[in-house]
Amino acid sequence: KSVGDKGVDVIIEMLANVNLNNDLKLLSRGGRVIEEFQQFAGILQAGMEKGWVKPVIGSEYPLEKAVQAHEDIIHGSGKTGKMILLL
């Protein structure tokens, strides 16, 4: 995958033992690879607060409808957005 001259500022890596060599080739100068969950959560939070992470929200279900949510995701047509269970 080519990212052009600029490179990638942040890579959130869940399988570094396999992908780290490729990740390092994609990073921009000063970019970083994030592996720890706490770091990952902090970066996502900061991104949402600053507006560069914009999650797409799809269907929302109360927790008591978790079975219905599961059925909808299995048999759904690939709707846009993340399914949310409300606690």
Model confidence pLDDT, tens digit, residues 3-13: 455 788 888 88
**What per-residue confidence (pLDDT) applies to 4?**
52
Query: Per-residue confidence at 54, pLDDT binned at 50, 70, 90?
Result: confident
**DSSP conformation letters of 4-30:** TTT-EEEEE-S-HHHHHHHHHHHEEEE
**pTM to 2 decimals?**
0.45
Boundaries of every domain in the chain: 1-54, 56-86
Q: What is the DSSP letter of 63?
A: G
The per-residue pLDDT for range 27-43, each reduced to its tens digit, is 988 888 888 877 888 88
Distance of CA 62 to the CA centre of its chain: 23
Q: Give the mean pLDDT of the chain.
A: 84
Please tell me the number of Cα atoms within 13 Å of 74 on its side-chain side.
6
pLDDT band at 1 (very low <50, low <70, confident <90, very high): very low
